[in-house]
């Protein structure tokens, strides 16, 4: 019997998700034995036309990492969708937009202006910017269109499963591969990691006070962090309260608070707002009843860049999706 | 998108069942479904996601009428206030006017204050127009 065909593709991401596949180590050999890889640009020399030559649905599963921010990425996502029975959004960028999604605080013009003009190391007196079409003596050169907005994979094509994380850890990836090969995949639309909050499995959970109250926000560089104690109890915002578990506490173990790369639990519509609601509820001030709304408002200013913090990994998948660019 | 000059501001109002609903029943405010006055058991349940969903469904502004500070049996109106203050900051960062979300403190029986709060907010939002 022919081995099931699978494809890996890389859209707007850092490459960490490709590394994550390599991090399967010996298990990667088992996967490679069990499947026939038909596309994996970072590792194997297949081309777009090889995929185009396949029949529709001939690929059993495509694992697509990265957000979608160019015409080329959209085209590849659509091509792989047409040729695949199942599409997996692989990693936080494809799942929720992740760090590339922070570009939704600006737009193409803002990004081009910064990258090609105003960075301290750029010298571009002629104001040359990338163009979709450029005429040169030899003919016309083309570049894919760069979108104003970064999209998640499921805002571009239909997605069947989500493998969360920045990047997904090997056990989560291997569980997904095993479930695929053994035909044990859950209901379509599922996120393939446990539907419990990271807090619930955190080693520091026991040090969390029964009634959690943060009198002030500390940032990680402002205090010496106790490596045994709950971050929230130390006044450091940790998003483990609302973030899906399965990461193996990678950040917590190196004494950094959770920033939410595994995304929300099932049923949460807006991860950033849900997390903000939780953090706001434990921000308890002494004598709050004696504070005016203005006093309280000033204290809230001490939480630097709330939108950037709570939407660090999920701005494109939030209700607003992006900063409004129209004139007020 | 609706023309903001056509006197048709769409506002959603969330009211606390305990402090605001009695006044709401005595007021001349319509509680018809299309007028979008929603009574919740406590404004502590009016999370930022709910507020943003109202915008998603087309609201131009969201008003939250809560018990006066110190009078909520669950102290949840403090939580609501903190959430609203943070939400306003996040909205500013995303270039949405923070004035589109307002919290008002209304005690049981403060019928005129409730009516003025809703009407005043309606007028303010009508000036802002819809979110483009």
Is there a cis peptide before residue A167, judged by omega within 30 degrees of 0? Answer: yes
**Residues B54 and A270: beta-carbon distance below 8 Å:** no
Tell me the pLDDT tens digit for each residue of B72-93.
888 888 899 999 999 999 999 9
Which residues touch B2 (CB under 8 Å, ≥6 apart)?
Answer: B8, B10, B130
A157, part of any domain: yes
Chain A interface, best mutation among B43, B44, B46, B49, by max A CB count within 10 A: B49
* Sign of the dihedral through C-alpha A84, A101, B60, B5: negative
Task: Please report, for the domain that includes residue A64, its CATH number.
Answer: 3.40.50.700
Q: Which residues of B touch A314 (CB under 8 A)?
A: none
In this prediction, residues A101-119 reach a mean pLDDT of 96
Q: Is B52 on the interface with A (CB under 8 A)?
A: yes
Task: List the single residue in A with minimal CA-CA distance to B51.
Answer: A273
Binned at pLDDT 50, 70 and 90, residue B7 comes out as low
* Domains in chain A, number: 3
**Residues A183 and A205: beta-carbon distance below 8 Å:** no
Statement to judge: residues A235 and A214 lie in one domain: yes
Of residues A54 and B2, more confidence is placed in A54
**Residues B8 and B127: beta-carbon distance below 8 Å:** no
Task: List the single residue in A with minimal CA-CA distance to B52.
Answer: A319
Tell me the pLDDT tens digit for each residue of A121-172.
999 999 999 999 999 999 999 999 999 999 999 999 999 999 999 999 999 9
Is pLDDT of A293 > 90?
no
A323, part of any domain: no
A252, part of any domain: yes
Statement to judge: residues A252 and A132 lie in one domain: no
The answer to whether B70 contacts A283, with C-beta atoms less than 8 Å apart, is no
A9, part of any domain: yes
A140 φ/ψ angles, rounded to the nearest 5 degrees? -110, 130
Statement to judge: residues A37 and A156 lie in one domain: yes
The C-alpha atoms of residue A143 and residue A108 are separated, in whole angstroms, by 14
Count CB pairs under 8 A between chains A and B: 84
Domain span at residue A265 reads 198-317
A226, part of any domain: yes
Q: Is B82 on the interface with A (CB under 8 A)?
A: yes
CA within 13 Å, CB half, A5: 14
ipTM of the complex: 0.92
Binned at pLDDT 50, 70 and 90, residue B5 comes out as very low
In this prediction, residues A278-287 reach a mean pLDDT of 83
Statement to judge: residues A119 and A212 lie in one domain: no
The answer to whether B83 contacts A281, with C-beta atoms less than 8 Å apart, is yes
> Which residue among A300, A323, A328 places its CB closest to the CB of B82?
A300
The answer to whether A277 contacts B132, with C-beta atoms less than 8 Å apart, is no
Q: Which residues of A touch B56 (CB under 8 A)?
A: 319
A193, part of any domain: no
Q: Report DSSP letters for A1-65, one per residue.
A: -PPPEEEEEE-BS-SHHHHHHHTTTHHHHHHHHHSEEEE-TTTS---HHHHHTSPTT-EEEEEEE
Binned at pLDDT 50, 70 and 90, residue B34 comes out as low
The C-alpha atoms of residue B103 and residue B105 are separated, in whole angstroms, by 7
């Amino acid at each position: 019997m022919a081995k099931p065909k699978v494809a890996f593709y890389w859209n707007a991401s850092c490459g960490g998700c490709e590394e994550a596949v390599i991090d399967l180590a010996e298990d990667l050999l088992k996967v490679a034995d069990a499947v026939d890889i038909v596309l994996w640009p970072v590792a194997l020399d297949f081309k777009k036309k090889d995929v185009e030559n396949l029949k529709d649905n001939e690929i059993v599963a495509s694992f697509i990492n990265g957000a979608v921010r160019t015409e080329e990425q959209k085209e590849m996502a659509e091509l792989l969708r047409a040729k695949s029975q199942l599409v997996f959004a692989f990693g936080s960028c494809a799942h929720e937009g992740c760090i590339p999604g922070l570009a939704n605080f600006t737009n193409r013009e803002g990004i081009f202006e910064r990258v090609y003009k105003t960075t301290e190391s750029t010298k571009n007196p002629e104001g040359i910017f990338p163009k979709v079409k450029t005429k040169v003596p030899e003919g016309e050169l083309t570049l894919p269109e760069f979108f104003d907005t970064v999209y998640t994979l499921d805002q571009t094509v239909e997605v069947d499963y989500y493998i969360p994380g920045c990047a997904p850890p090997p056990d989560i990836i291997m569980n997904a591969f095993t479930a695929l090969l053994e035909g044990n995949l859950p209901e379509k639309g599922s996120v393939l990691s446990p539907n419990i909050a990271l807090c619930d499995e955190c080693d520091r959970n026991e040090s969390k006070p029964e009634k959690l109250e943060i009198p002030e926000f500390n940032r990680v560089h402002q205090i010496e962090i106790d490596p045994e104690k709950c971050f929230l109890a130390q006044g450091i915002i940790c998003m483990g309260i609302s973030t899906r578990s399965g990461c193996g506490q990678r950040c917590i173990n190196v004494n950094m608070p959770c920033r939410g790369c595994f995304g929300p639990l099932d049923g949460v519509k807006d991860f950033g707002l849900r997390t903000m609601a939780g953090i706001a509820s434990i921000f308890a001030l002494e004598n709050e009843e004696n504070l005016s709304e203005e006093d309280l408002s000033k204290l809230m200013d001490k939480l630097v860049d709330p939108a950037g913090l709570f939407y660090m990994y999920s701005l494109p998948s939030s209700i607003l999706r992006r900063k409004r660019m129209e004139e007020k | 998108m609706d023309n903001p000059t056509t006197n048709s501001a769409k506002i959603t109002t969330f009211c606390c069942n305990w402090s605001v609903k009695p006044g709401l029943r005595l007021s001349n405010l319509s509680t018809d479904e299309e007028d979008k006055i929603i009574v919740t058991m406590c404004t502590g349940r009016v999370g930022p996601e709910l507020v943003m969903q109202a915008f998603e469904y087309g609201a131009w502004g969201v008003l939250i009428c809560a018990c006066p500070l110190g009078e909520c049996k669950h102290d949840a109106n403090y939580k609501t206030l903190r959430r609203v203050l943070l939400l306003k900051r996040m909205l500013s960062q995303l270039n949405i006017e923070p004035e589109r979300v307002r919290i008002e403190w209304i005690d049981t029986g403060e019928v005129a204050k409730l009516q003025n709060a809703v009407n005043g907010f309606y007028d303010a939002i009508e000036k802002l127009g819809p979110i483009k």
